[in-house]
Amino acid sequence: MINVLTELAQHVADGLHRTPKALSSMYFYDDAGSRLFQQIMELPEYYPTRTEFSIFQEHGAAIAAALSPRVGEEFALVELGAGDGAKTKLLLRELLRAGTPFTYAPVDISAGAMTGLVEALRHELPTLHVAPVVEDYATALAQLRTRPGNKAVLFLGSNIGNFGPAERLDFLRQLAAPLAPADRLLIGFDLQKDPRRIRAAYDDAQGVTAAFNLNLLTRLNRELGADFNLAHWQHYTDYNPLNGAVRSYLMSTQAQQVRIAALDETFDFAAWEVIHTENSYKFTLPQIAELAAETGLRVVASFTDAATDFADVVLATQEE
């Protein structure tokens, strides 16, 4: 297990010395952040979770079949960023129903979220073999390279959109590298649509998304001895339909200084200066095919909802 505190401190030091300042959304997900994200997924404005759930309801059997092309051969189903597993449970039931021999290996950085998921699976799917992994993506990917046998890797919930273009290519190449020809990836892509709907999904009327973003500062106060005053910060988001990018920020509402004890450093913020905290890119189906080709992958199957708001895409290496 990596030293998360040391890594967080180094990340904050690097991010707050940039112009513009930036912090990674991967640090949203402490236990409080994971709970807030569960609330976000239930908001009326936040369509991605409901839409992807509907895809699994309608196409679950076909998705399960596409992930296990070698009938009867045991494989590992590895899910990066498992969360509460609500959508994945539909897929797990399909695989169990089909008699497919497999082990489910959920990966999540939040120990609290993982404990809840494993407990729920124990009650709901008692015959399921679960091998939980509490790690970040980088460590999980390193472990994936040494995992023997067939595997299918899940990366759902439009998490791929959190990466910028260069990072996205690098991440997908890392995912593709340990895959054998019979292995599969299943990735969720939020598709481009009405810009107003997209923006509302990241700036809800109840302010839950704002609380989720601001919780990052609470975490820095707690874990790094920072003295961010949350009353002097706002959540702000925008969407650019030209490149499909939603960008979220923490905005300083006044000129202020913030001391971070773990770094023994004070940072100056101008009034209305921002910390860039998250990207959430939206895609088209042709862009997804091009992205696959650039990273040594190919599209095996695509599953969308009736309105084509979201796509779950099964990918494999280009060599069969």
Instruction: Report d(CA 135, CA 146) in Å as an integer.
Output: 15
Residue 138 confidence (pLDDT) = 79
The pLDDT of residue 5: 60
Global pTM reads 0.88
Low-confidence ranges of the chain (pLDDT < 70): 1-5, 69, 71-72, 320
Q: What is the pLDDT of residue 147?
A: 77
SS (H, E, C) the chain: CCCHHHHHHHHHHHHHCCCCEECCHHHHCCHHHHHHHHHHHCCCCCHHHHHHHHHHHHHHHHHHHHHCCCCCCCEEEEEECCCCCHHHHHHHHHHHHCCCCEEEEEECCCHHHHHHHHHHHHHHCCCCCECCECCCHHHHHHHHHHCCCEEEEEECCCHHHHCCHHHHHHHHHHHHCCCCCCCEEEEEEEECCCHHHHHHHCCCCCCHHHHHHHHHHHHHHHHHCECCCHHHEEEEEEEECCCCEEEEEEEECCCEEEEEHHHCEEEEECCCCEEEEEEEECECHHHHHHHHHHCCEEEEEEEECCCCCEEEEEEEECCC
Q: What gap in Å lies between CA 107 and CA 131, rounded to an integer?
A: 9
pLDDT at 145: 75
pLDDT of residue 69: 65
In the chain, where the domains are located: 4-43+196-281, 47-191+284-317
Residue 2: per-residue pLDDT: 43
CATH superfamily to which 47-191+284-317 belongs: Vaccinia Virus protein VP39 (3.40.50.150)
pLDDT digits (tens, 9 = 90+) for 122-158: 999 999 999 998 888 778 877 877 777 889 999 998 9
Q: What is the pLDDT of residue 204?
A: 97
Residue 313's nearest CA partner among 301, 296, 298 is: 301
Per-residue model confidence (pLDDT) at position 110 = 77
- 171 residue type, one letter: F
β-sheet bridge partners, residue 27: none
